[in-house]
Amino acid sequence: MFPLAPHTIFITLAGSQAHGTAREGSDVDLRGVCIAPLPVRLSLFRTFEQHEGPLDEPLEAVVLPHLQAHPTASRALHVKMESVIFDLSKFIGLCSVANPNALEILFADERDWMLEAPPWRKLHTARHRFLTKKVKQTFHGYAMAQLKKIKTHRSWLLEPPTKKPTREEFGLPAASSTSSRDDQNRIEQSIAEMIRSYGIDDIDMPKATRIAIEERLEAFYRDALAASETDVEERMRAVATLALHLPADVVVTLNAEKRYRAAMKHWESYQTWKAERNPARAELERKYGYDTKHATHLVRLMRMAVEILERGELFVRRPDAAELNAIRDGAWTFDALLGQTESLRLQMEDAARRSALPADVDRPFVDALACEMMGA
């Protein structure tokens, strides 16, 4: 590791402090960017992508006065402070693929900046060149991960698993032989390869074109297989097993094994969640019937995506902060959340169709910018 302070070009507040939704007990999250020294970047044996953990003393000495002067972060310094400092090359790579966390750093409100150096200004000036239609997939994907957690935890609250699944419950022998497992793995690999062959992964084409074709293929598969978005994978699997002419009894056993593994994973996840459950989040779930903090992240991410697609702007400091805090405090029922999520999804789809944003970043421009900054 190298000293961070001389090589760090930017640090900003992140999370609730940056969104304007911080409250009593909120952490202080810091995110930043550094340019690793040339010997580290060129080394065959030393690698650096990011630093996670406390800031080194010289860097903390620079940042601390700004934190102490910040209207909300100053009140939370006694709680917990976490930091992640990305290497410039990784950070630009994440921004180029519309990673929500990276774009939030790039578009952080200047009132929340804790440290900046001239190279950062160069990148910040070019920030809008990183906004593309990819945000539809990335922000929606992050939002759906929040919804999945909400639904899973809610199901555990309402109908907690009562016992560990057994193989017999799925019509399987109590133990499978090693040879049987090896055979199953080979067949599963063949099924996976068959499903991949229906796609375009092995065709060389521009990334923007690939994304557009994949979206149309997914829509075609849903329509052709009369499947919902969540059922497509299972229907595709059924098509692949037919194409491979697998015997019916083999398919039945494979599907039973798959369901058993899924049930075991669900059980183990429940046990982990129960043992490590955050008391504050548990209270939210007890009080409102679902994790309202996850809900605020879900709504914020989807609204951000719509704003980017419609207006070509990312508002990290949220104009709807008061409403987001109200959602966290139970303003929406679970059913209302689901309704609003679907409404936002439709808005996002419409905004993506009408958006003037490019499908992908201008790669030569991004390469030239990165080279210029790393050579500065």
Residue 177: per-residue pLDDT? 59
Instruction: Print pLDDT tens along the chain (376 aa).
Output: 788 999 999 999 999 999 999 998 899 999 999 999 988 888 888 889 999 999 999 999 999 999 999 999 999 988 888 999 999 999 999 999 999 999 999 999 999 999 999 999 999 999 999 999 999 999 999 999 999 999 999 999 999 999 999 999 998 888 765 557 788 888 989 998 988 888 888 788 776 677 778 778 887 888 888 877 778 888 888 888 999 999 988 888 888 988 999 999 999 999 999 899 888 888 999 999 999 999 999 999 999 999 999 999 999 999 999 999 999 999 999 999 999 999 999 999 999 999 999 999 999 999 999 999 987 5
Same domain, 105 and 254: no
Residue 179: per-residue pLDDT? 53
Same domain, 127 and 242: no
Same domain, 266 and 149: no
Same domain, 234 and 338: no
Same domain, 197 and 185: yes
Residue 208: per-residue pLDDT? 63
Give SS3 for 229: coil
* HEC sequence for 346-359: HHHHHHHHHCCCCC
In terms of C-beta density within 10 A (0-12 exposed, 13-18 middle, 19 or more buried), how is residue 219 classed?
exposed
Give SS3 for 9: strand
Same domain, 262 and 365: no
Same domain, 173 and 285: no
Sign of CA dihedral 292, 298, 301, 307: negative
Residue 178: per-residue pLDDT? 54
Same domain, 147 and 175: no
CATH code: domain of residue 120: 3.30.460
Same domain, 157 and 256: no
Read out DSSP for 26-75?
--EEEEEEE---HHHHH-SS---SEEESSPPHHHHHHHHHHHHHSTTGGG
Distance (Å, whole) CA 215 – CA 213 = 5
Residue 199: per-residue pLDDT? 85
Domain end point (choices 227, 242, 277): 277
Distance (Å, whole) CA 375 – CA 369 = 10
Same domain, 307 and 339: yes
- Give the structural domain span for 150: 133-162+278-359
**Number of domains forming the structure of the chain:** 3
Same domain, 150 and 299: yes
Same domain, 193 and 256: yes
Domain end point (choices 277, 293, 309): 277
Query: Which residues lie closer than 8 Å to 108 by C-beta, 6 or more apart?
Result: 12, 13, 14, 18, 31, 316
Domain end point (choices 245, 260, 277): 277
